[in-house]
Structure 1
Amino acid sequence: MERFLCDELLEEILRRLPPPSTFSSTTADVSLVSKRWLRLYRSSKSRLSLRFSPDNCKPHSLSSFFSQFPHLSFLSITLDGDDISTFSDLLLLAVASSFPKLRLLCLQPKPVPLFPMLSLSTSCPHLTSLFISLSRPFCFHWLVSFHSLKILGVHLTSVPGRFEQVVAASKGDFDCELKLETLVLSGVRRGDFGLDWLWRSCKRLKKLQLRCCRGIGDDTSVSSFAYCFKGLQEVELRICGSIVDEILSILAENCKSLSSLLVYDGGSREGLLQFFSQSCCDVRKLDLRLPLDLQDNHLLAVAENFRGLSSLRLHSCCLITGEGLKAIGVAMSNELEELALTNCDVVEREPWFLTSLVHNFRNLRKLDLSYNEKLADEAFVLMLPSCNCLRELKVRGCEELTNASVVSILKWCKMLQSIDIMKCRGIEPKDVELVVLNCLSLRQIHVEESKLSDVSKLWASTKFVEVIVDL
């Protein structure tokens, strides 16, 4: 049969194969059929993840290996080893010369040198996404050469013994307008030089994500920070400590276009309340993990000021009560489409409030009650008649839910497309079979492999249900 398939046809077949799954090794096995299949399999790939170190790969072999993937557009490389600066130079140059169609490149976690970046920008003109690490001292003027770059992620790190302050001659002061729409920075410290130019140049920014940051640069950078807020639509602040209040204050004063805000572990009660009360933004999505800083008065301010909210996600918020959530329910009864109360004590303290709360949300499409370990069948089942519009349900880690909850889900949630029942101790393999067999709209299920019977696997395959298990 193989000899009747020309290279072009076989390559197209391989390109259309689904990604490898737990229960099918077809995609992985095709490369073992013959050398021809291996060659065509590699030629058909558009995505590739690799791990390199100077010990397991020699520079002269890089270009030869890369040449086997002519259609690659997404490349992720993990760099191992301690002293890899020279190897990183050669690796970047090999990438630049081998993948002219590259659209996304990720090199982590070791810092990469800036010298080969010019070659990368010239040889890969279609590069739209770049994720790298840089060591101090750093600058971002090299971004001018990347004319198609829309997404940039940079992790800033320090090299022991290296002088970190950038010299004045390298800072520059020319005006520039980058095409960046998404900027992800991690590791920024207070007093870092080199960010002032970046803030002033990101005039088209739509999404800003800061991770593990303790500052936004030196004094000049702080004064320029608001430059990138004009058209900003999404902000994510993950583990950014005390600077959260400062950023929220700047947002409230300078940003009118914000539609999505995520804050994990940072800020103060006063800073949050000020933003929720004074912001003029039409926030549509709010995602908060603030165990000790979020109270009912914050929810009341959200209900009063963000009446167009369509998604509310709360994680480990232990001080809110049913009264605060009731205010949300009354204010957003026709708008809210997604609600998450993950590991929130209110579900354990006031389990019956869920029934009245969910009843208010007439258009609820996604519900996440994960890791509420004490959520029992009685309260959960009473809530479900109001969930007949649900498309996605997550109850991961709800250990007390049993067959009664599964039966009720099947009765009331006829439109359910995705369900996560991972780590639900009370749900057994026979219950998983019920879900796969009787949930007519199901397209995805998250469950332990140990709870998947042969019947579940067969029907999941037959009905094209994606099964996601713990690895």
Structure 2
Amino acid sequence: MDDLLYEELLQEIFTRLPSTPSSSLSVSLVSKRWLRLYRSSRTSLSLRVPPHNSIIPSLSSFLCHYPSLSSLSILLSSFDSATSTGCSLSDHLLFAVSSSCPNLRLLRFLAGPVSFSYLRSLSTTCIHLTSLTVSLPRRPLVFSWIASFSCLKELSVHVCPRDGVEDDCGGNKESGLCSSEGFEAELGLESLYLSGIRAGDWGVGWLWKNCKRLKKLQLKSCESIGDGESLASFVKCLEGIEEVELRTCRSIVDGVLLKLAENCCSLTSLLVYDGGSREGLLHFISNCRCKLTKLDLRLPLDLKNNHLLAVALNFRGLSILRLQSCCLVTGEGLKTLGIALSSGLRELALINCDVVEREPGLLATLGQHFRQLKKLDLSYNEMLLDKEFVSMLASCNFLIELKLRGCKKLTGLAMSSMCKSCQKLESVDVVHCCGIEAEAVELFVLNSPQLQLLQVEESKISNAARALVLNRSIQVVV
């Protein structure tokens, strides 16, 4: 049989197999020919390598078996080791990647900080790269190497913590530019993610000055975005921005939101996690000229009812609303939102929001307002009871995705209600729902004709349910 199958046919079959360790192992054990063809057909690969120099030659020879790779992820099994030894190991690993995988379009390289000279070398070998994730040293922080990547659209930069060595970049601290970055280069970046920017990282000014096409900006654990002329360049970047994410950026979030409200009319999506002031957020919501369609907030002590009332007044076009760990909001604020957004909201998340458990009847009221919901996430509401959940589902007949992870009080009654009220369900997550037993899962699978993805513990999948899953090609994630 093996001799009758053409290599091209086998490769086409291999490309359609699920990317799971079991599939890879099953194919590779058939024969050396199958192993060779399977490797040559792979376009995506994720590797975790040990922090030893001895891995470099073997990595190069290993990657040579995958000539069709277009997406590669390299992580170090011990990132701290790489940081403590500087750029040497990670530089050589990056060189091994660039010399073995010239066709890469996506590279996620988190094996420690890399030198700028090796990044420029990467740009000459992997000329098709459109997405790059790297870690950089903070001595000094330089971004001019980005200009050598002509096709780059998405960039993620993780700045490593200070390692005790501080070099003077000869920079102009007022403009936020280093002397080596005095030239202009209009970058093609559309998506930018920065993590770990600190006050004094003056090189970031060059980045703002040359990013004129940004559509998506993500900042995480950042203390500064620059001063002087670099601040003016940053404001210029915001004019055409469509998506902004601010995670744990308490010292700058108010300033960024203020500039967005003043200078941006194109913003459609905003995420703010763990930071900011109540006044700054309220000012943004009340004065923003954008037509937001997605709002995602995780502000345990900063979000109150007055913010929700402002959202109800100014963001009536919202189609996605996600609230996590919002301890200070009440049912009154959520009901006001329900009235204002009833016609347009398609996705709602109330994750670990104790108001769901604190106010009986709230979910039933929200269900009546949000009858057009497609996606609902009530994860980690540990005290949520069947009665409250079922009363909401009675009105939400168009759900295609439902997440209940960590809702420990829900039982088989909740699963039964899902079958009756939500016949369109395609994706369900009931991991860590202690009250839901294997029998309830089996009945749910049997009576959910549109189900495509089920996330549940393996111990709750009975033999009968397993047979149903295989027969209907339902993906199960355990």
State the TM-score, normalizing by the size of structure 2. 0.94
In 2, Cα distance between equivalents of 1:368 and 1:54: 39
Describe the shift of the 1:343–1:123 C-alpha distance in structure 2 as closer, same or farther (beyond 3 A): same
Confirm whether residue 434 of structure 1 aligns to residue 443 of structure 2: yes
Q: Deviations over 1:79-138 (max 9, x none)?
A: 344426333333222322222210011111410111122221122121000000001112
Map 1:105-120 to 2 at 5 A.
105-120=107-122
Q: In the alignment, what sits opposite 1:199?
A: 208
The answer on whether the counterparts of 1:191 and 1:218 sit within 8 Å (CA) in structure 2 is no
Query: 1:56 offset after TM fit, Å?
Result: 6.4
Query: 1:159 offset after TM fit, Å?
Result: 4.6
Map 1:15-414 to 2 at 5 A.
15-20=15-20, 25-53=22-50, 55=52, 57-79=54-76, 80=78, 81-82=81-82, 83=85, 85-136=87-138, 137-168=140-171, 170-414=179-423
SS, match of residue 215 in structure 1: coil
In 1, Cα distance between equivalents of 2:239 and 2:411: 50
The answer on whether the counterparts of 2:371 and 2:397 sit within 8 Å (CA) in structure 1 is no
| More divergent stretch after superposition (255-264 vs 48-57) | 48-57
In 2, Cα distance between equivalents of 1:225 and 1:449: 49
Q: In the alignment, what sits opposite 2:426?
A: 417
Q: Deviations over 1:210-230 (max 9, x none)?
A: 111111134443332112112
In structure 2, give the amino acid aligned to 1:119. S
Query: 1:164 offset after TM fit, Å?
Result: 4.1
Query: 1:27 offset after TM fit, Å?
Result: 3.1
In 1, Cα distance between equivalents of 2:400 and 2:103: 37
In structure 1, give the amino acid aligned to 2:39. R
In 2, Cα distance between equivalents of 1:353 and 1:61: 59
The answer on whether the counterparts of 1:192 and 1:218 sit within 8 Å (CA) in structure 2 is no
| More divergent stretch after superposition (182-191 vs 57-66) | 57-66
Query: 1:58 offset after TM fit, Å?
Result: 4.7
The answer on whether the counterparts of 1:191 and 1:219 sit within 8 Å (CA) in structure 2 is no
Unaligned runs of 5+ in 1: none
| More divergent stretch after superposition (203-212 vs 215-224) | 215-224
In 2, Cα distance between equivalents of 1:354 and 1:330: 13
In 2, Cα distance between equivalents of 1:358 and 1:72: 46
In 1, Cα distance between equivalents of 2:51 and 2:356: 52
In structure 1, give the amino acid aligned to 2:166. F
Describe the shift of the 1:241–1:333 C-alpha distance in structure 2 as closer, same or farther (beyond 3 A): same
The answer on whether the counterparts of 2:53 and 2:89 sit within 8 Å (CA) in structure 1 is no
In 2, Cα distance between equivalents of 1:368 and 1:118: 44
In structure 1, give the amino acid aligned to 2:133. F
The answer on whether the counterparts of 1:188 and 1:217 sit within 8 Å (CA) in structure 2 is no
| More divergent stretch after superposition (61-70 vs 386-395) | 61-70
Describe the shift of the 1:68–1:256 C-alpha distance in structure 2 as closer, same or farther (beyond 3 A): same
Q: Deviations over 1:320-342 (max 9, x none)?
A: 11111111111111100011111
Q: In the alignment, what sits opposite 1:5?
A: 5
SS, match of residue 355 in structure 1: helix
In 1, Cα distance between equivalents of 2:185 and 2:105: 23
Q: Figure out how many residues of one structure are paired with residues of the other and give that number.
A: 466
In 2, Cα distance between equivalents of 1:295 and 1:271: 13
In 2, Cα distance between equivalents of 1:309 and 1:204: 25
In structure 2, give the amino acid aligned to 1:369. L
| More divergent stretch after superposition (451-460 vs 276-285) | 451-460
Query: 1:172 offset after TM fit, Å?
Result: 2.9
SS, match of residue 194 in structure 2: strand
Q: Give the alignment's Cα RMSD to 1 decimal.
A: 1.6
In structure 1, give the amino acid aligned to 2:367. V
SS, match of residue 25 in structure 2: helix
| More divergent stretch after superposition (387-396 vs 83-92) | 83-92
The answer on whether the counterparts of 2:49 and 2:55 sit within 8 Å (CA) in structure 1 is no
In structure 1, give the amino acid aligned to 2:42. K
In structure 2, give the amino acid aligned to 1:147. S
SS, match of residue 272 in structure 1: helix
In structure 1, give the amino acid aligned to 2:10. L
In 1, Cα distance between equivalents of 2:86 and 2:198: 25
In structure 1, give the amino acid aligned to 2:372. N
SS, match of residue 117 in structure 2: coil
Q: Deviations over 1:192-226 (max 9, x none)?
A: 11011101111110110011111113444333211
